[in-house]
Amino acid sequence: MPAAPADIAASGISLAAAVELTRTGDVWVFRGSSLADRTIQVTTNSPVNHVGMSVVLDDLPPLMWHAELGRSLPDLWSGNHQRGVQLHDLNDAVLTWARKYGQRAWLRQLEPAVTAGMEEAVLRTIARLDGTPFPSTARLASGWLRGRLPGRSARDAQFETAYCAEVIAATYQAMELLPDDRRPSWYDPGRFWSGDDLALRPGYRLGGEIPVAIPPGP
């Protein structure tokens, strides 16, 4: 089993503070202990099993852009409850992953803040990928392996299915934060924690993991 992230800040913040603090492009990583969580961790050789990205635009509440098997929350782009690639209220999404799925959550902040052009690229990516189905376990494994072969980048790839890290990588590539010389499926959730060297565009970096404290459930 892969080890837990080593570079984790000693002190955390509340979920309310994290939601207030977050900006577009920040990354959320999650680690659980269920069979499905361990399957993803082992299949992708990753210490974490889920990753999402903050989308914070104008006067909208902070949103979470990610892909998952569940359909507990309404997708705020389509208005439907759907599996696969989704856009959720960020606070509700983190609470769902913590309380329903038993996940620990960490926030990594992108520095510096993204530009207006990057925000437009995020919206174009959401319009293109929202609703894309989540792959089966077998397809997840084969897609991860294919991602290590030379091939097309996010700019010309066609997505029949997409898992969480693939969605965030494709979005980062559209924002020109990641090079497009690798398929988005090359990326797994572990690429987005600080133990890995994510080669971002010069001048940009992701800070260390900030543990997020989840309030007690009702």
Q: Is residue 3 part of a domain?
A: no
CATH code at position 89: 3.90.1720.10
Q: State the total domains in the chain.
A: 1
Q: Is the bond preceding 2 in cis, omega lying within 30 degrees of 0?
A: no
The alpha carbon of residue 97 and the mean position of all alpha carbons in its chain are separated, in whole angstroms, by 12
pLDDT of residue 211: 96
Query: How far is the C-alpha of 214 from the C-alpha of 1, rounded, in Å?
Result: 25
For residue 173, what are the domain limits? 13-213
Query: How far is the C-alpha of 140 from the C-alpha of 102, rounded, in Å?
Result: 22
Q: Is residue 136 part of a domain?
A: yes
**pLDDT of 2-52, one tens digit each?**
444 444 455 689 999 999 999 999 999 999 876 666 666 566 666 788 999
Q: Is residue 6 part of a domain?
A: no
Residue 136, pLDDT > 50, answer no
pTM, full prediction: 0.83
Side chain identity at residue 45, one-letter code: N
Stretch 188-209: mean pLDDT: 90
Q: Is residue 7 part of a domain?
A: no
**Over the chain, what is the mean pLDDT?**
83
Q: Is residue 2 part of a domain?
A: no
Q: Is residue 110 part of a domain?
A: yes
pLDDT of residue 1: 38
Tell me the pLDDT band of 156, cut-offs 50, 70 and 90.
very low
What is the dihedral angle through the alpha carbons of 128, 134, 135, 140, rounded to the nearest 10 degrees? 90
Q: Is residue 52 part of a domain?
A: yes
Q: Is residue 144 part of a domain?
A: yes
pLDDT of residue 162: 74
Percent of the chain clearing pLDDT 70 (strictly above): 76
**pLDDT of 54-79, one tens digit each?**
999 988 999 999 999 889 999 999 99
